[in-house]
A and B are shown apart, each in its own frame.
Chain A
Amino acid sequence: MSLLPDFSFYNAIVYIVKGTSLTVALIVGSMLTGLAVGLPMAAVQVYGPRWGRFLVGVYVWFFRGIPILVLLFLFYFGIFGLVEKILAEIMGEKVNVPPFVATLATLGLTSGAYQSQIFRGAILSLHLGQYQAALSLGFTRVGALTHIILPQALRVAIPAWANEYSILLKDSALAYTLGTLEIMSRIRQMVSITHLHVPFYILAGILYYFLTWVGIKALKKLEAKIRIPGLGAEVERETTLEDRTGQSE
Chain B
Amino acid sequence: MVAQSKVLAFAKPRIAPDGAPPLMEAKNITKILGGKLILDDISLSLNKGEFKVLIGPSGSGKSTLLQCVHFLTIPDKGDVFLEGRSALGMGHKNISAFRQEIGMIFQDFNLFDHLTAKDNVSIALRKVKKWPKDKALAKAMEELDKVGLAEKADLYPAQLSGGQKQRVSIARAMAMEPKLMLLDEPTSALDPELIGEVLNVIANLAKGGMTMLMVTHQIGFARHLIHEIDFMENGRIIERGDPESLFADGSSRTAVFCSKLTELTGNQ
**A230-B97 in contact (CB<8A):** no
Chain B residues within 8 Å of A136, by CB: 70, 72, 99, 102-104, 173
5 contacts between A and B (CB under 8 A): A129-B106, A133-B111, A139-B96, A143-B96, A148-B123
Contact B72 A132 (CB under 8 A): yes
Name A's B-contacting residues (CB within 8 A).
127, 129-130, 132-140, 143, 147-148, 151-152, 155, 228-231
Known: A147-B123, A231-B113. A135 touches B96 (CB 8 A): yes
The yes or no answer to B30 lying at the interface (CB within 8 A) is no
Chain A residues lying within 8 Å of B103, measured Cβ to Cβ, are 136
- For B108, give its contact among A129, A135, A143, A148 (CB under 8 Å): A129
Please give, as numbers and ranges, the residues of chain A lying within 8 Å of B124 by CB-CB distance: 134, 137-139
B110 at the interface (CB under 8 A from A): yes
Knowing A127-B110, A137-B124, A139-B127, say if A229 contacts B156 (CB, 8 Å): yes
**A-B pairs with the 8 shortest C-beta distances?**
A230-B158, A138-B100, A133-B110, A129-B110, A137-B124, A136-B104, A138-B128, A229-B156
Cβ-neighbour of B112 out of A130, A140, A143 (below 8 A): A130
Query: Are A147 and B159 in contact, with the CB atoms below 8 A?
Result: no
Cβ-defined contact, B172 with A137, below 8 A: yes
**A230–B110 CB distance below 8 A:** no
Residues of A within 8 A of B110 (CB): 127, 129-130, 132-133
Is there an interface contact between A152 and B113, defined as CB atoms closer than 8 Å?
yes
Q: Does B176 contact A (CB under 8 A)?
A: yes
Contact present for B72 and A137 (CB under 8 Å): no
**A155–B113 alpha-carbon span in the complex (Å):** 12
Sample of 11 more A-B contacts, CB < 8 Å, known A130-B110, A136-B99, A229-B159: A132-B72, A133-B111, A135-B96, A135-B99, A137-B128, A138-B99, A140-B96, A151-B114, A229-B156, A230-B157, A230-B159
Tell me if A135 and B72 are in contact (CB < 8 A). yes
C-alpha spacing A171/B102, complex, angstroms: 52
Q: A138 and B97: CB pair below 8 A?
A: yes
User: Which residues between 20 and 54 of chain B lie within 8 Å of chain A, taking CB atoms?
Assistant: none
Chain A residues with CB below 8 A from B113, complex form: 130, 152, 228, 230-231
Q: How far is the CA of A231 from the CA of B100 in the complex (A)?
A: 27
In the bound complex, residues from chain B placing their C-beta under 8 Å from that of A228 are: 113-114, 156, 158
